[in-house]
């Protein structure tokens, strides 16, 4: 199944970061390995169905590929007895590894389906006689029986002469044996009625039993490391996404890595078949193809998150929809039709790779963060893909490196992604420190401002209190002259007023009852002075409220000071308004003066001047910093002052 395997080389276009020097090192390693395998391949080659093994073979502790010309008998299953009885059997030779597709026998061009016998005689040096030897047979998309010196040693599925008799099972295998003879006769019965290509695509390798076992274990270990590494990367980034769900790029990368796990489980050593031996091979191929065709839409989504300005949206969506169409085709197609999706699938994969390369190049030119690393990682994988394609075409003699290249890209991509978020975290931490320093400075400025306000407040109190005293002494002087008998009453009221002022002036908050008593004393003094009755009411208060000292007292004094009419009959009310539904988090205090007739205009202002109003503003700022409002002005019936205190905001700040 050549086309399916060729997807092994291309599906892993996971195009992300690594540093340029890693790319150079990887190229050098790949080149050296290629030269090493090329040298091994030239050590021995089968000719005319015979393979001569060198004397130094055992000392190398490596496997040798039994490549070259194998005897080939199409549409015949021959056993050892056939060759013994009739050595002159008509034979053809087929290059191994390779497919019998398009081979011409007796003027007939062969197709991919059918059955045949492969035969190779391996000539052993004397010191390998009676030694434990082994063969490593990679997966082949054909069912086969393998006979060694006439004995059935290995089978993968059941080869038959038609589709009904044939049962596919395509796992890689290892077989161990020994022989007293100086040669090994290898006969393989091969049947293919499922795949488009018949035969073997990879080399069968011969070595000592120890070397074969070590090679098998090493390949299993590499596959396990790849699966485990990709699974850890996927789960780690999924956890990061659950913590930070607003970053969709992390989720795409997690899905992307998980698809790599599924891909690796369905090729190579075929761990999925080891876990579920009864799994139908058709579904195994479908899962494999789905992991390939779903990878690239997720890849493009991830790239769009990383480099949105460099990713053309319409082209990205078009490629994604084409891949999704391939996914639907794979899900609902019969097994015999699956391979027909491979050629358009490969073309689409190459188109996607060019598109992603275009994005990375533009991002690197614009010096986007980690773009150069992503581009380098992509090129590393491209090198492994080129190597695998050349290996498949028998142009070079290396190995399949795309799974390793894929892991390099995943790892480097995860590294640069982690680096990006580390930079973000460092920036956040730096901003947090700057914010804390700014908050500390703001708090210091606030405390300094409050201290300044307190100093202003003390100066204002020293100004206001003598003002109270001077007005009151003037009233006493008047009463002593006009009505000495009543001077005692005004002196008592004045003494009560001054006593309360002395007790509360230095406090930040006093009860509304103390403030109201202070206002009553002042109203009494002014009433006796003006020989009038000034009603004063307290409404809406529960009695446990607190207010800054002398606020309403100052408003009361201002009302008397600014009333120009001798005939005015003033009355006062200190009122706590009920909260409305739309403003449940504020307290509204009103100071209302009735029959105030300073002028006939009706106006409302939000600021005022004068010592009294400045004192009130400073007192409110000291008690409720930034969480108060003050409105005052005339109304139709007099004068009103409204104080609004935002209790919720104030409580949060304190």
How do residues 217-260 score in pLDDT, each as one tens digit?
888 888 888 888 888 888 988 888 888 888 888 888 889 889 88
**DSSP conformational letter for 127:** G
The pLDDT value recorded for residue 122 is 92
The pLDDT value recorded for residue 70 is 93
The pLDDT value recorded for residue 145 is 93
The pLDDT value recorded for residue 567 is 66
Residue linked to tokens 């973000």: 424
Higher pLDDT, 512 or 528: 512
Question: How many CB atoms lie under 10 A from the CB of residue 507?
Answer: 12
Residue 24 tokens, joined: 């150079």
| Alpha helix positions (H), 333-401 | 335-338, 342-365, 371-392
Q: What is the pLDDT of residues 441-457, one digit of tens each?
A: 777 776 666 666 665 55
Mean pLDDT of the chain: 77
Q: What is the pLDDT of residues 526-541, one digit of tens each?
A: 887 777 888 998 888 8
Q: Which of 365, 359, 357, 358 is nearest to 385 (CA)?
A: 357
Phi then psi for residue 99, to 5 deg, are -105, 155
pLDDT at 395 > cutoff 70 = no
> Computed over its alpha carbons, how large is the radius of gyration of the chain?
48
The region of weakest confidence among 28-42, 191-205, 464-478 is 28-42
Higher pLDDT, 510 or 440: 510
Domain 483-653, classified CATH 3.30.565.10, yes or no: yes
The pLDDT value recorded for residue 603 is 44
Q: What is the pLDDT of residues 64-111, one digit of tens each?
A: 889 899 999 999 999 988 888 887 888 899 988 888 888 888 888 888
Bridge partner residues of 207 (DSSP): 134
Cis amide bond preceding 539, omega within 30: no
Higher pLDDT, 47 or 616: 47
The pLDDT value recorded for residue 33 is 44
Q: Which of 282, 293, 285 is nearest to 259 (CA)?
A: 293
The pLDDT value recorded for residue 320 is 92
Could you tell me the pLDDT band of residue 147, with boundaries at 50, 70 and 90? very high
Residue linked to tokens 């640069």: 416
Q: Which of 526, 534, 515 is nearest to 595 (CA)?
A: 534
Query: What does DSSP say about strands 104-105 and 108-109: parallel, antiparallel, or unpaired?
Result: antiparallel
The pLDDT value recorded for residue 583 is 65
pLDDT at 415 > cutoff 80 = no
Could you tell me the pLDDT band of residue 323, with boundaries at 50, 70 and 90? very high
Q: Which of 465, 469, 461, 464 is nearest to 622 (CA)?
A: 461
Residue linked to tokens 């002014």: 526
Q: Where are the domains of the chain?
A: 15-35+213-420, 68-202, 483-653
Structure pTM? Answer: 0.57
Q: What is the pLDDT of residues 547-577, one digit of tens each?
A: 888 888 888 888 877 765 666 678 888 888 8
Query: What does DSSP say about strands 92-96 and 68-74: parallel, antiparallel, or unpaired?
Result: antiparallel
- Give the relative orientation of helices 313-332 and 281-306 as an angle to the nearest 10 degrees: 170
Residue 359 tokens, joined: 């994005």
Q: How far apart are CA 88 and CA 109, in angstroms?
A: 24
Higher pLDDT, 617 or 423: 617
Q: What is the pLDDT of residues 259-290, one digit of tens each?
A: 888 888 887 777 777 777 777 777 888 888 89
The pLDDT value recorded for residue 451 is 63
The pLDDT value recorded for residue 568 is 67
Can 15-35+213-420 and 68-202 be said to share one CATH topology?
no
Q: Are 330 and 294 in contact (CB under 8 A)?
A: no
User: Architecture of domain 15-35+213-420 in CATH?
Assistant: Up-down Bundle (1.20)
**DSSP conformational letter for 158:** B
pLDDT at 148 > cutoff 90 = yes
pLDDT at 186 > cutoff 90 = yes
Reading phi first (left if > 0) and then psi (alpha if -120 to 50, else beta), residue 135 is in: beta
Residue 503 tokens, joined: 């007790």
Please name the fold of domain 68-202. Jelly Rolls (2.60.120)
**DSSP conformational letter for 126:** G
């Amino acid at each position: 199944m050549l086309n399916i395997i060729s997807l092994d080389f291309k599906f892993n276009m996971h195009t992300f970061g690594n540093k340029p020097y890693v790319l150079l090192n990887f190229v050098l390693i790949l080149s050296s390995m290629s030269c090493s395998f090329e040298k091994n391949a030239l050590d021995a080659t089968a000719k005319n169905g015979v393979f001569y093994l060198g004397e130094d073979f055992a000392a190398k502790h490596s496997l040798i590929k039994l490549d070259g010309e194998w005897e080939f008998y199409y549409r015949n299953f021959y056993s050892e007895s056939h060759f013994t009885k009739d050595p002159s059997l008509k034979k053809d030779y087929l290059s191994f590894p390779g497919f019998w597709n398009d081979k011409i026998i007796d003027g007939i061009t062969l197709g991919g389906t059918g059955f045949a016998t492969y035969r190779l005689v391996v000539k052993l040096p004397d010191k390998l006689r009676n030694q434990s030897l082994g063969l490593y047979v990679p997966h082949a998309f054909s069912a086969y029986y393998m006979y060694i010196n006439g004995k059935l040693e290995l089978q993968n599925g059941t080869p038959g002469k038609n589709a009904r008799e044939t049962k596919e099972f395509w796992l890689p295998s290892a077989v161990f044996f020994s022989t007293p003879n100086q040669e090994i006769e290898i006969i393989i019965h091969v049947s293919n009625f499922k795949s488009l290509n018949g035969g073997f695509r990879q080399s069968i390798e011969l070595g000592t039993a120890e070397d074969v076992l070590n090679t098998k274990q090493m390949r299993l270990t590499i596959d396990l490391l790849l699966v485990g590494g990709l699974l850890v990367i996927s789960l780690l980034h999924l956890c990061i996404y659950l913590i930070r769900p607003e970053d969709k790029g992390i989720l795409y990368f997690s899905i992307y890595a998980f698809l790599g796990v599924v891909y690796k489980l369905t090729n190579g050593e075929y761990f999925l078949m080891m876990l579920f031996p009864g799994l139908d091979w058709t579904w195994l191929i479908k899962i494999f193809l789905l992991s390939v065709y779903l990878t690239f839409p997720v890849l493009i989504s991830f790239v769009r998150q990383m480099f949105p300005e460099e990713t053309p949206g319409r082209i990205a969506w078009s490629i994604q929809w084409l891949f999704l169409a391939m996914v639907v085709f794979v899900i609902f197609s019969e097994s015999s039709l699956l391979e027909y999706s491979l050629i358009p699938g490969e073309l689409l994969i190459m188109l996607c790779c060019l598109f992603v390369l275009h994005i990375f190049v533009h991002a690197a030119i614009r010096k986007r963060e980690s773009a150069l690393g992503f581009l380098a990682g992509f090129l590393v994988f491209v090198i492994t893909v080129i190597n695998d394609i050349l290996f498949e075409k028998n142009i070079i003699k290396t190995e399949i490196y795309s799974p390793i290249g894929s892991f390099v890209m995943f790892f480097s991509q995860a590294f640069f992604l982690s680096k990006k978020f580390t930079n973000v975290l460092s920036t956040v931490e730096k901003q947090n420190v700057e914010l804390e320093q700014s908050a500390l400075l703001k708090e210091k400025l606030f405390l300094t401002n409050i201290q300044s306000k307190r100093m202003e407040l003390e100066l204002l109190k020293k100004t206001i209190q003598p003002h109270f005293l001077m007005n009151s002494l003037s009233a006493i002087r008047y009463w002593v002259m006009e009505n000495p008998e009543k001077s005692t009453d005004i002196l008592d009221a004045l003494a009560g007023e001054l006593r309360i002022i002395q007790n509360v002036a230095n406090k930040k908050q006093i009860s509304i009852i103390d403030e109201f008593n202070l206002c009553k004393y002042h109203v009494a003094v002014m009433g006796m002075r003006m020989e009038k009755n000034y009603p004063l009411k307290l409404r809406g208060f529960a009695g446990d409220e607190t207010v800054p000292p002398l606020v309403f007292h100052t408003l009361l004094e201002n009302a008397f000071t600014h009333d120009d009419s001798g005939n005015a009959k003033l009355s006062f009310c200190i009122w706590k308004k009920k909260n409305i539904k739309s403003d449940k988090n504020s307290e509204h205090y009103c100071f209302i003066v009735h029959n105030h007739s300073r002028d006939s205009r009706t106006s409302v202002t939000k600021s005022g001047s004068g010592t009294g109003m400045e004192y009130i503003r400073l007192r409110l700022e000291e008690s409720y910093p930034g969480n108060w409002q003050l409105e005052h002005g005339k109304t139709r019936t007099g004068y009103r002052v409204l104080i609004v205190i935002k209790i919720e905001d104030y409580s949060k700040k304190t």
